[in-house]
């Protein structure tokens, strides 16, 4: 044997563990399957919040092989049983997560076959699945077939992509930046401000439009602001509405804002990351009237479609505006660009090589059909009513009738109510059985509930109420 061949054979042997044998694969899958079954079977009894102590030493890369069994035990102890149990129905704080099983199966498939979902040329099947998911979203939100879009890692990147298109459509650069104006609500998600900084629009003029008592944009105020800015020789170019704010779940008057945007030729962006999929419910769909007037729209299947974290979506009507920043050809990619090919995800996103994330949306929709998703969203709306009614029975004050499934409450303790409700929140976090979060509304400390997990059921709310009774009793 030549030295060269000997060397190759040596390294082949050493790298062999990277391709486990079938019996090893079966063993891995069985161990993980058992772990997953234990996790899901016990999730209702598990706490929803565990505090934030993690032993980082146990998670360090030690470069010496350990068994999968050992790795799973560390994972359980340091990852699953710390922080918020995001897959639990008991997560009713912030915006809850999902984690439907068939998405996990789809991720497994996507990872084993490692389909390339960046360019049609490399993965025509995978890219077609992603484009079909976007076509379905266009139908859901009344967008035209000619709209383009992208499946992103989440709502933040989806918003970033949309705002980039708005910027480029209106040519907001150089000296134009400081005289250009955008309009939004103070309740807009903070990823919008982040995105503006990232895309070089930190110095545009941002007008926070006054909100009504239900935290929605007052359209007459929007009109006044635009008129004043135009009179001052400024350049209004963008208005951002929310279809379900994170704080209180409020849906801005989408249709009226749409008319104003049209009249003044503003780019109209709607962030529906939290609330968007409620458009599929009979009960809430009317509130989304006008959503199809948007130039760009963001939704988050890892919220409202109950998928595991890692899937947001953006739709944009103006393909050229979106291509301006995101489409690029390099010499080494010349084979991949051919006339008439379907949309490449890489042409509408900062990513090139990406996870084939469309499969985790496609597989559950194919296997379950759409009805269970719609029913689960309807259920969330009615659970919100139930929770509020039960809180009122217990003497709590509740915020205004919510548009969707985010609401808030506080205990009218008398005395320093903000302090009391802060302490109540602390007791609830210490208890940890169910996870709620807090916010400030009109200067008042309130406890927020956001019902969106597919695992949040009536019994979860009952458990939550028992916990609240327990915590309240400690304070009074
Ligand atoms: C969650 C959320 C976002 C951010 O999306 P991520 O998926 O967390 O990146 C943006 N806007 C709203 C309204 C949201 O609820």
DSSP 3-state of 93: coil
Residue corresponding to tokens 């379907």: 342
User: 188 CA distance to ligand 1 centroid (A)?
Assistant: 10
Q: What are phi and psi of 448, to 5 degrees?
A: -105, 145
Residue corresponding to tokens 């401000």: 193
Can you tell me the mean pLDDT for 118-135? 96
Candidates 189, 405, 448: which one to mutate for ligand 1, based on the most atoms within 8 Å of Cβ? 189
Strands 148-152 and 312-316: antiparallel
List, edge to edge, every strand of the sheet that includes 397-398: 397-398, 406-410, 444-450, 437-441
Between 398 and 247, the more confident residue is 398
pLDDT band at 139 (very low <50, low <70, confident <90, very high): very high
Candidates 246, 299, 313, 361: which one to mutate for ligand 1, based on the most atoms within 8 Å of Cβ? 246
Write down the mean pLDDT value for the chain. Answer: 96
Bridge-partner residues for 242, per DSSP? 271
242 lines ligand 1 (CB under 6 A): yes
Contact 411, 424 (CB under 8 A): yes
pLDDT greater than 90 at residue 339: no
pLDDT greater than 80 at residue 331: no
Among 53-67, 100-114, 161-175, 193-207, name the one with the lowest average pLDDT: 53-67
Contact 134, 150 (CB under 8 A): yes
- With a threshold of 0.85, does the pTM exceed it? yes
Query: What is the separation of C-alpha 113 from the centre of its chain, rounded to a whole number of angstroms?
Result: 26
pLDDT greater than 70 at residue 337: no
Can you tell me the mean pLDDT for 464-470? 97
Strand locations in 95-221, DSSP E?
Answer: 148-152, 180-184, 205-208
Provide the pLDDT for residue 63.
Answer: 85
Q: Which two tokens stand for residue 303?
A: 């919220």
Using CA atoms of 137, 138, 140, 143 in order, give the dihedral in degrees to the nearest 10.
Answer: 150
pLDDT band at 341 (very low <50, low <70, confident <90, very high): confident
pLDDT greater than 70 at residue 336: no
Among 243-252, 339-348, 392-401, name the one with the lowest average pLDDT: 339-348
pLDDT band at 91 (very low <50, low <70, confident <90, very high): very high
Provide the pLDDT for residue 392.
Answer: 98
Nearest to 239 by CA among 155, 231, 221, 151: 221
Provide the pLDDT for residue 332.
Answer: 73
152 lines ligand 1 (CB under 6 A): no
Structural domains in the chain, sorted by start: 108-368 (3.40.640.10), 371-475 (3.90.1150.10)
pLDDT band at 418 (very low <50, low <70, confident <90, very high): very high
Q: How many percent of the chain have pLDDT more than 90?
A: 95
Name the residue with the closest Cα to ligand 1, atom 2.
273
Return d(Cα 365, Cα 446) in angstroms, integer.
37
Nearest to 449 by CA among 383, 379, 375, 374: 383
Provide the pLDDT for residue 330.
Answer: 76
Instruction: Give residue-wise pLDDT tens across range 150-188.
Output: 999 999 999 999 999 999 999 999 999 999 999 999 999
Can you tell me the mean pLDDT for 96-111? 97
DSSP 3-state of 328: coil
User: 451 CA distance to ligand 1 centroid (A)?
Assistant: 15
């Amino acid at each position: 044997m030549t030295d060269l061949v000997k060397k190759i054979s040596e390294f082949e042997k050493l790298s062999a563990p990277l391709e486990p044998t079938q019996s090893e694969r079966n063993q891995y899958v069985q161990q993980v399957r058992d772990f997953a079954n234990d996790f899901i079977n016990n999730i209702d009894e598990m706490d929803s919040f565990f505090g934030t102590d993690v032993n980082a030493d146990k998670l360090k890369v030690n470069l010496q092989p350990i068994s999968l069994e050992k790795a799973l035990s560390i994972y359980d102890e340091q990852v699953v049983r710390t922080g918020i149990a995001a897959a639990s129905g008991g997560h009713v704080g912030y915006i809850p997560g999902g984690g439907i099983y068939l998405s996990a199966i789809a991720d497994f498939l996507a990872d084993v076959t490692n389909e390339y979902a960046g360019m049609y040329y490399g993965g025509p099947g995978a890219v077609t699945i992603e484009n079909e998911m976007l076509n379905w979203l266009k139908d859901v939100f009344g967008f035209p077939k000619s709209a383009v879009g992208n499946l992103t890692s989440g709502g933040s990147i989806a918003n970033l992509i949309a705002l980039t298109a708005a910027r480029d459509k209106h040519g907001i650069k150089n000296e134009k930046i400081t005289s250009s104006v955008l309009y939004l609500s103070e309740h807009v998600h903070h990823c919008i401000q982040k995105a503006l900084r990232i895309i070089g629009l930190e110095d545009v003029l941002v007008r926070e439009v006054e909100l009504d008592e239900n935290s929605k944009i007052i359209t007459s105020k929007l009109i006044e602001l635009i008129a004043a800015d135009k009179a001052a020789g400024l350049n209004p170019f963008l208005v951002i509405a929310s279809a379900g704010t994170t704080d209180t779940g409020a849906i801005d008057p989408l249709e009226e804002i749409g008319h104003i945007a049209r009249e003044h030729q503003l780019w109209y962006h709607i962030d529906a990351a939290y609330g968007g999929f409620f458009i599929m419910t009979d009960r809430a769909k009317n509130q989304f009237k006008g959503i199809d007037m948007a130039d760009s729209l963001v939704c988050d299947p890892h919220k409202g479609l109950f998928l595991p974290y890692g899937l947001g979506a953006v739709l944009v009507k103006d393909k050229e505006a979106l291509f301006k920043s995101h489409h690029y050809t390099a010499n080494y990619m010349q084979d991949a660009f051919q006339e008439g090919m379907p949309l490449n995800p890489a042409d509408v996103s900062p990513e090139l090589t990406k996870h084939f994330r469309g499969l985790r949306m496609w597989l559950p929709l194919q296997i379950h059909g759409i009805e269970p998703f719609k029913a689960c969203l309807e259920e969330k709306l009615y659970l919100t009513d139930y929770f509020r009614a039960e809180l009122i029975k217990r003497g709590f004050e509740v915020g205004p009738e919510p548009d969707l499934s985010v609401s808030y409450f506080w205990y009218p303790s008398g005395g320093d109510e903000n302090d009391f409700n802060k302490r109540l929140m602390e007791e609830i976090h210490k208890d940890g059985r169910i996870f709620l979060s807090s916010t400030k509304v009109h200067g008042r400390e309130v406890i927020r509930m956001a019902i969106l997990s597919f695992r949040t059921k009536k019994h979860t709310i009952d458990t939550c109420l028992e916990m609240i009774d327990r915590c309240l009793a400690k304070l009074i």
